[in-house]
Amino acid sequence: MSFSFDLEPLKASIDRFGVLNPPYLLRNSDSHFTVVVGYRRLLAVRELGWSDTVCQILPDDFPPFEALLLNLQDNLVHRRLNSVEKGMVLKRLTRFLEKEEVLANFVPILGIPSNRQTLEQFLGLEELEEAIRISVAMERLSPRVAALMGSLGRDDRLRMNDLFTSLKWSFNQQWEAAQWIVEIASREGRSAKDVIDEGEIVGVLDNERVNNPQKVKSIVKILRARRFPSLVEAEKLFKKGLSGLSLPSGVNIIPAPSFEGIDYKLEIVFTKGGELKEKVAELSHLSGLEKVTEFWKGTEHR
Amino acid sequence: MKGFRIRRILIERGAESDSLTKRVLDELPNAPREHVEPYELAPCENIEEMDKESLRIIHFKGEFLKPCPGTKRYICCGYKILNVGSNCPLDCSYCYLQSYVNQPSLRIFSNLQENLDVIGDIIDSSPDRIFRIGTGEFTDSLSLDFLTGWTDFLLPFFSRRKNCVLELKTKTSSIKSLIASRYRKAIVVAWSLNTPRIIANEEHKTATLKRRILAAQECQKAGFFLGFHFDPLLYYPGWEAGYEQTVQLLERYIAPESVIWISLGSFRYMPSLKRAIKRRFPGTNIFDGEFVAGLDGKFRYFKPIRVEMYGKLSERLDKWHHDLGLYLCMESDDVWRQSLGWSPENSENLCSYLDSRVRKLMGD
Ligand code: SF4
């Protein structure tokens, strides 16, 4: 149950101290062996050029489910599984148990939130391309985003993986952007790859004068404007209206989120009572203030 | 109904001797039966797929008459739900029941008839109030009627009361038992309507638009009052032409004078519903629009989009007839004003408005 790991520390340890815990094997019907426990140890031994090492052979009638549990137990004791490996464990468990049982008894042991949706996300990881699995295993791609990619075509998935691993995205940013890309693609009848490869985003990616966090911010902004054209237009109109008002410095007017509520907030920054009084007086004479709730309206939505 | 089949009946402990159980078992003599414990999932019940092929008969211990779950942040119509069961054999992609993950299977309450007296007492004890009651909130009112015979006992029960109306809301054309019944008074038969494209792509296993409207026409001719619900309105390129087609069919087949009300409500959803829908209907386009978080936590179209849809559709319906009892479902005062040009301002006034429709059309 190993994927995308660094073998060097283990090799160094085995080279110095030997194999302290012998691997466990099961004999197959063709007289070959299946490694139940100690796959990475055996790999290290081979890479060190050793010709033999001591292994334990499990009885022929050792139940496969017990073998799986033994493997899980060994892994949990010795190391931290990455997300892809956790997905591999869960997938194998579902061959023997109902998902409800896996959810109740094994998902919490692996440190995964115990809900059906998350379980499904982990179960799908093994099906994805190696490049994507590596991104997930190295914690450069959110497992949730990887699961979403599972519903896309191969080219779309790989392009998205490139986008999210080439810059420094937070998992939340990845999730938001991935959903928008998929939804823009669905609405416009295009592929996710085409949405990413569209001029504006490529322009940001190719711009050498901006750093990675700025690039992420710009791409999020571009995607949001495409996903919510009317809302973004309304926000622009509102901002433009406010800037035309000549509000006193330190004064701001904040609409309800997405203009859904009808209440607006007035924010006044001041250090002295006299300053507050002045700003309030200035506001009371400001022409156009009475129209502030209309600024964003009349949005032509697309 | 298209492609509907009950593969097994799950009888919960306590429901065995109820009258509705007996009736269902008589109707489906060959369906395999299993006895199950209340609240216990049977191994065959597939939560994720809603398990629309199992029929679970439940001796319900909760309240049968409940207020419609409105919220203070939007204007609500004060409807009462007659809880006859939940889930239905139709399969609308947007159905909000899909996010009730622990409730698979078609669920019907076997002791409804035995509890009608309690409901009668509630209605009769407030003779000055109008009770607008519906069975179509958690299920389709008519899709299981051939099995349950709901209309056989609900129609006479509500028809003989002065201060209530029973609305049967459906997306089917299953009106046989209604037409055969001799009760009409206080009964509204209502259809959820949408554009032909939405019906074809999103309202799986339901009757086509034309069939629904022809069924409505038949009910109208048989003396029933009608209601229509444009809910959920969905925004997509060509939506206007789509809803125009629907209104044209109404114009052609329905006499507007006995339409008691028409509601308009835009598609809204909780995030958990979106996840469930994406899983069950990965190809659906219903999330393509611009949805923003509403004041009640549900996602709705950005306000100007809702206003445009309500405004245009209400204007069009108004052209058909000026007095259709149009109202908006779960909307704010400002959206009412901008779309319909007036607002009841609050839920109490909307209730009064709809009550007045009942009095006006059905008489005191
Ligand atoms: S008819 Fe109503 S209850 Fe049935 S699937 Fe459609 S939305 Fe859900």
| CATH at residue B197 | 3.80.30.30
Asked if the structure places residue A244 within a domain, the reply is yes
Place of tokens 């008691």: B260
User: What pLDDT shows up at residue B364?
Assistant: 54
What's at B212, amino acid-wise? Answer: R
Place of tokens 């489906």: B28
Q: Which domain holds residue A273?
A: 240-294
pLDDT top residue among A242 and A4 = A242
Asked if the structure places residue B46 within a domain, the reply is no
In this complex, the residue of A183, A257, A299 whose CB is nearest that of residue B287 is: A183
Put simply, the answer to whether B300 touches A260 (Cβ < 8 Å) is: yes
Give me the mean pLDDT over the A119-137 stretch.
93
Put simply, the answer to whether B292 touches A227 (Cβ < 8 Å) is: no
In this complex, the residue of B294, B295, B302 whose CB is nearest that of residue A230 is: B302
Enumerate the β-bridge partners of residue A24: A37, A56
Rounded Cα gap, residues B275 and B232, in angstroms: 18
Question: Chain B residues with CB inside 8 Å of A185's CB?
Answer: none
Band (pLDDT 50/70/90 cuts) for residue A3 is confident
Q: What percent of chain A has pLDDT over 90?
A: 66
| Digit-coded pLDDT (tens) for A155-188 | 999 999 999 998 889 999 999 999 999 999 999 9
The DSSP H or E segment spanning A57 is strand A56-57
Contacts of B118 (CB under 8 A, 6+ apart): B64, B65
CA distance B25 to chain A (A): 31
Put simply, the answer to whether B304 touches A299 (Cβ < 8 Å) is: yes
Q: What are phi and psi of B276, to 5 degrees?
A: -65, -40
**Mutational pocket test of ligand 1: of B52, B95, B99, the residue with most ligand atoms within 8 Å of the beta carbon:** B95
Token pair of A120 as six digits: 């499904």
Question: Radius of gyration over alpha carbons of chain B, in Å?
Answer: 20
Ligand 1: distance of its center to the CA of B267 in Å?
14
Which residues of chain B are under the pLDDT cut of 70? 1-3, 43-48, 101, 364
CA distance A231 to chain B (A): 7
Domain total of chain B:
1
Give how far the C-alpha of residue A84 lies from the chain's centroid of Cα atoms, to the nearest Å. 13
**Mutational pocket test of ligand 1: of B139, B167, B231, B284, the residue with most ligand atoms within 8 Å of the beta carbon:** B139
In this complex, the residue of A117, A231, A297 whose CB is nearest that of residue B290 is: A231
Three-class DSSP labels, chain B = CCCCCCCEEEEECCCCCCHHHHHHHHHCCCCCEEEECCCCCCCCCCCCCCCCCEEEEECCCCCCEEECCCCCCCECCCCEEECCEECCCCEECCCHHHHCCCCCCEEEECCCHHHHHHHHHHHHCCCCCCEEEECCCCCCCCCCHHHHCHHHHHHHHHHCCCCEEEEEEECCCCCHHHHHCCCCCCEEEEEECCCHHHHHHHEECCCCHHHHHHHHHHHHHCCCEEEEEEEEECCCCCHHHHHHHHHHHHHHHCCHHHEEEEEEEECCECHHHHHHHHHHCCCCCCCCCCEEECCCCCEEECHHHHHHHHHHHHHHHHHHCCCCCEEECCECHHHHHHHHCCCCCCHHHHHHHHHHHHHHHHCC
In this complex, the residue of A116, A187, A260 whose CB is nearest that of residue B303 is: A260
Measured from the Cα of B192, ligand 1's closest atom is: 1
Which chain B residue shows the shortest CA-CA distance from A235? B302
Enumerate the β-bridge partners of residue B11: B35, B57
Of A83-87, A122-126, B168-172, highest mean pLDDT: B168-172
CB–CB of A79/A62 below 8 Å? no
Q: Which domain holds residue B355?
A: 63-102+112-362
Put simply, the answer to whether A262 touches B305 (Cβ < 8 Å) is: no
CB–CB of B47/B56 below 8 Å? no
User: What pLDDT shows up at residue A299?
Assistant: 57
- A301 pLDDT above the threshold of 70: no
Please name which of B327, B354, B328, B345 lies closest in space to residue B131, comparing C-alpha atoms. Answer: B354
Put simply, the answer to whether A301 touches B295 (Cβ < 8 Å) is: no
Asked if the structure places residue B38 within a domain, the reply is no
Asked if the structure places residue A57 within a domain, the reply is no
Band (pLDDT 50/70/90 cuts) for residue A74 is confident
What's A214's DSSP letter?
A: H
Question: Radius of gyration over alpha carbons of chain A, in Å?
Answer: 28
User: What pLDDT shows up at residue A18?
Assistant: 87
Q: What are phi and psi of A209, to 5 degrees?
A: -85, -15
The CB density around residue A206, as the number of other CB atoms within 10 Å, is: 8
Asked if the structure places residue A44 within a domain, the reply is no
Ligand 1: distance of its center to the CA of B28 in Å?
23
**Residues of A at the B interface, defined by Cβ within 8 angstroms:** 116-117, 120, 151, 183, 186-187, 227-231, 234, 257-262, 297, 299, 301
Asked if the structure places residue A75 within a domain, the reply is no
| Digit-coded pLDDT (tens) for A42-72 | 999 998 999 889 998 999 888 888 988 988 8
The interface predicted TM-score (ipTM) is: 0.87
| Digit-coded pLDDT (tens) for A210-260 | 999 999 999 999 999 999 999 999 999 999 999 999 999 999 999 999 999
Asked if the structure places residue A64 within a domain, the reply is no
Which of B46, B273, B303 should one mutate to test binding to chain A, selecting the residue with the greatest count of A CBs within 10 A? Answer: B303
Rounded Cα gap, residues B226 and A253, in angstroms: 47
Residue A26 three-state SS = strand
Put simply, the answer to whether A258 touches B304 (Cβ < 8 Å) is: no
CA distance A135 to chain B (A): 24
Question: Chain A residues with CB inside 8 Å of B277's CB?
Answer: none
Which of A98, A152, A301 should one mutate to test binding to chain B, selecting the residue with the greatest count of B CBs within 10 A? Answer: A301
CB–CB of B112/B20 below 8 Å? yes
Ligand 1 site residues (CB inside 6 A) read B 88, 90-92, 95, 97, 139-140, 171
CA distance B301 to chain A (A): 10
User: What pLDDT shows up at residue B348?
Assistant: 95
pTM of the full structure:
0.88
Measured from the Cα of B171, ligand 1's closest atom is: 1
User: What pLDDT shows up at residue B238?
Assistant: 95
Rounded Cα gap, residues B42 and B56, in angstroms: 10
In this complex, the residue of A183, A231, A234 whose CB is nearest that of residue B288 is: A183
Please name which of B219, B231, B232 lies closest in space to residue B259, comparing C-alpha atoms. Answer: B219
Which of A175, A260, A294, A297 should one mutate to test binding to chain B, selecting the residue with the greatest count of B CBs within 10 A? Answer: A260
Put simply, the answer to whether A260 touches B304 (Cβ < 8 Å) is: no
Domain total of chain A:
1
- A1 pLDDT above the threshold of 80: no
Put simply, the answer to whether B288 touches A301 (Cβ < 8 Å) is: no
Put simply, the answer to whether B292 touches A257 (Cβ < 8 Å) is: yes
CA distance B230 to chain A (A): 22
How many alpha carbons lie under 13 Å from residue B77 in its C-beta half-sphere? 25
CA separation (Å) from B138 to B133, B168, B264, B275?
13, 12, 18, 20
Which chain B residue shows the shortest CA-CA distance from A224? B290
CB–CB of B230/B264 below 8 Å? yes
Put simply, the answer to whether A297 touches B285 (Cβ < 8 Å) is: no
Question: Chain B residues with CB inside 8 Å of A297's CB?
Answer: 304
Rounded Cα gap, residues A186 and B284, in angstroms: 9
Asked if the structure places residue B49 within a domain, the reply is no
Q: In what order do the strands lie in the sheet with B187-192?
A: B65-67, B80-82, B131-134, B164-170, B187-192, B225-233, B259-266, B326-328
Put simply, the answer to whether A258 touches B293 (Cβ < 8 Å) is: yes
**Closest residue CA from atom 6 of ligand 1:** B92
Rounded Cα gap, residues B165 and B357, in angstroms: 11
Asked if the structure places residue A186 within a domain, the reply is no
- A113 pLDDT above the threshold of 80: yes
Rounded Cα gap, residues A204 and A86, in angstroms: 35
In this complex, the residue of A229, A260, A262 whose CB is nearest that of residue B292 is: A260
Asked if the structure places residue A20 within a domain, the reply is no
CA separation (Å) from B102 to B41, B45, B46, B50, B98?
8, 10, 10, 9, 10
